[in-house]
């Protein structure tokens, strides 16, 4: 038996068959799951997937939703450009494909937020088409199996991995094969502590034979992430909090967030000049750190009770909203944490000093 035959046989016996998106093989549901699973673990995705599919069961409902509605259901899942691209792609399909998901690889690849591997997975699972995938887990499997050196993020290495992915494709049972690759990478050929004895292709694996499983794939060269520092201001007035919508594109683009400023500056003066509100009392909150792929954000939060609200604090892309209702808005994860602290303060669970 060759690589693909062994993998298909293993997947049928030991692979995953009860994931929510495996129960609905329509292209819309498969597309949604594949986008959510980008750089995100299955256990994290499942509750978001179920809520999202219940609220937007088809392309039309997603296309006709507002961006705020889409982002609010995505809040906490991260990589928010995925949600914006889902929304935009649904609108494109409604206009150009009569609300139907296209079944041609090139048309799928042309949709925003869909790369080569994601398009291939959709084609394989939804239409049974023969295309190679190469997500992060599969890169690790093929790098070890073929003994391919180098960091997979480097183009020459990625090209070799794509060549191998194409060469190993079977002629049939493409869905079981594709799922088998994903299952093998996530459950057996893991980054740390791989279970080689459970691997169906262990005997032919170059890394296993050479004792190099721990070395491959070659890790990304380590670099120290730079730090950025910001102050986040929780402006509270009559039980409401002040939020601003962040511009897109950009970090947290399209999400509602707290106003920010220089942590070394005079917060009250900046707030007065920017929003025209008078601060009555202030309370520093515990600092937060939030990691992005390319830097670490260090947040100095400040809880500020205000006594007067001026018109400029209620313009477009700005709003005052009840603290508890704000938790249902499309918010970045650290902002949700800070609003929880502010809600505790409002209910008298935290002291506030003048």
Quick count: other Cβ atoms within 10 Å of Cβ 150? 15
Name the one residue in this structure whose structure tokens are 């409604």.
Answer: 94
Tokens of 237: 């007035």
- As a whole number of angstroms, the distance between CA 164 and CA 1 comes to 17
CA nearest to 200, candidates 329, 343, 15, 325: 15
- As a whole number of angstroms, the distance between CA 47 and CA 252 comes to 21
Determine contact, residues 346/325, Cβ cutoff 8 Å: no
Tokens of 28: 């819309």
Say how many residues make up the chain: 354
Q: HEC string of 241-257? A: EEEEECCCCCCCCCCEE
* 324 catalytic per annotation: no
Quick count: other Cβ atoms within 10 Å of Cβ 239? 13
Distances (CA, A) of 2 to 169, 197, 233: 11, 18, 60
Which active-site residues does the annotation give? 34
């Amino acid at each position: 038996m060759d690589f693909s035959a062994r993998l298909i046989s293993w997947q049928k016996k030991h692979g995953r068959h009860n994931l929510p998106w495996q129960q609905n093989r329509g292209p819309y549901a498969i597309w949604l799951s594949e986008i959510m699973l980008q750089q995100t673990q299955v256990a994290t995705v499942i509750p978001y997937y179920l809520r999202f599919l219940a609220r937007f069961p088809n392309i039309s409902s997603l296309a006709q939703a507002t961006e705020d509605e889409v982002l609010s259901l995505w809040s906490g899942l991260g990589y928010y450009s995925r949600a914006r691209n889902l929304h935009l792609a649904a609108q494109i399909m409604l206009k150009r494909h009569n609300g139907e998901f296209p079944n041609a690889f090139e048309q799928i690849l042309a949709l925003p937020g869909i790369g080569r591997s994601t398009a291939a997975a959709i084609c394989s699972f939804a239409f049974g088409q023969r295309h190679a995938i190469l997500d992060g887990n599969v890169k690790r499997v093929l790098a070890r199996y073929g003994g391919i050196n180098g960091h997979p993020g480097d183009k020459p290495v990625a090209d070799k991995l794509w060549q191998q992915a194409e060469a190993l494709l079977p002629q049939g049972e493409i869905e079981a094969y594709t799922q088998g690759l994903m299952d093998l990478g996530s459950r057996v050929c893991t980054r740390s502590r791989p279970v080689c004895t459970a691997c169906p292709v262990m005997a032919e694996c170059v890394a296993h034979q050479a004792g190099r499983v721990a070395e491959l794939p070659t890790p990304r060269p380590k670099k120290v992430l730079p730090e950025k520092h910001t102050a986040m201001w929780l402006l509270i007035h009559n039980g409401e909090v002040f939020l601003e919508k962040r511009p897109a594109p950009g970090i947290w683009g399209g999400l509602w967030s707290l106003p920010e400023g220089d942590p070394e500056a005079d917060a009250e003066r900046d707030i007065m000049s920017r929003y025209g509100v008078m601060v009555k009392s202030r309370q520093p909150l515990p600092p937060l750190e939030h990691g992005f792929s390319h830097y670490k954000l260090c947040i100095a939060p400040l809880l500020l009770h205000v006594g007067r609200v001026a018109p400029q604090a209620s313009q477009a892309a700005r709003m005052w909203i009840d603290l508890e209702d704000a938790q249902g808005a499309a918010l970045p994860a650290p902002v949700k944490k800070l609003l929880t602290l502010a809600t505790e303060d409002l209910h008298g669970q935290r002291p506030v000093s003048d």
